[in-house]
Amino acid sequence: MKKLLALSLLLLVPAPSNAQDLTGQEIIVTGTRREAEDYDASIPAVGLRRLADYAVLEVKVAGDTRDEKKRRDEIFQMVQGALDLARRRPGIELATGEMVVEPLTLANFRNLPLANDGRPDTDKTSFLVKTKLSAGTDAKAALERISAFVKDVPTVGRAEMKASGDLTLSVVAPDQYRGQIVDLVAADARSTAARLGPDYAVEAKGLDRPVEWSRASLTEVFLYVPYSYSVVPKAR
């Protein structure tokens, strides 16, 4: 999983054919949406800055027991222990995903992929630990809450659990903020045209595209539509 150092919104140009339908999904913020889809984008000046929904940290569970079956059982038993602990730990949730976040549950945790941990007779897997952000919660407090949870998960055999990567953010259903974003863009466009006098109007493009995102601070995201507009003389 890439380091997630930025919070990871859409105008008149059609969306790329390989873009996912992210309506209603919880999204990990990884720089920008366009970076996640391997093409560049400029971030406009006007958008919606808000508190992210979750702080998220990737954790790794690795084991080096010689017997393969026992080693893998120990790893999955430790993941199960994390799920059991999370049910008793208010404010902590477990999930999977690199961009779209999905709950990790007792029904699906054994579907986590295993990979070699860089040495003979080793395996590892990873998942996400997240905590809800609220007004007044800073990144330090969120990280401490997640770190305390990881430390408290019972070890199983030679399996170990530790943080892997940096604290990142997620936002749920970013397209729900489209109306607020368009209102902000419209207000900015009207203000700009008004400064030039009553003989000018605004032509806007791109306001029909999906919402994109970037990270604004340690706990905030910037949600935007990659719009453009021009101030032009009114038709006479």
146-161 pLDDT tens trace: 999 999 999 999 999 9
* pLDDT band per the 50, 70, 90 thresholds, residue 6: very low
Q: Give me the pLDDT at residue 160, please.
A: 97
Contacts of 37 (CB under 8 A, 6+ apart): 16, 18, 19
Tell me: pLDDT of 112 over 90.
yes
Q: Give me the pLDDT at residue 200, please.
A: 83
Lowest-pLDDT range, 86-90, 139-143, 149-153, 191-195?
191-195
Delimit the domains of the chain by residue range: 26-51+172-226, 54-169
Average pLDDT over residues 24-50: 72
Q: Give me the pLDDT at residue 34, please.
A: 53
Q: Give me the pLDDT at residue 41, please.
A: 52
Contacts of 61 (CB under 8 A, 6+ apart): 75, 78, 79, 124, 125, 126, 127, 159, 160, 161
Bigger pLDDT: 32 vs 127: 127
Q: Do 159 and 77 touch, CB atoms closer than 8 A?
A: yes
Domain at 54-169: CATH code: 3.30.70
pLDDT in tens, 42-52: 688 899 999 99
> Among the ranges 122-126, 133-137, 198-202, which has the highest mean pLDDT value?
122-126
* pLDDT band per the 50, 70, 90 thresholds, residue 196: confident
- The pLDDT mean for the chain works out to 85
Bigger pLDDT: 136 vs 169: 169
Q: Give me the pLDDT at residue 190, please.
A: 87
- DSSP collapsed to 3 states, 139-192: HHHHHHHHHHHHHHCCCCCCCEEEECCCCEEEEECHHHHHHHHHHHHHHHHHHH
pLDDT in tens, 197-236: 888 888 888 888 899 999 999 999 999 999 888 888 887 6
Tokens of 171: 């936002």
Collapsed DSSP state (helix, strand, coil) of residue 210: coil
Burial pattern 41-78, b for ≥16 Cβ within 10 A else e, equals beebeebbeebbbbbbbbbbbbbbbeeeeebbbbbbbb
Lowest-pLDDT range, 66-75, 106-115, 157-166, 189-198?
189-198
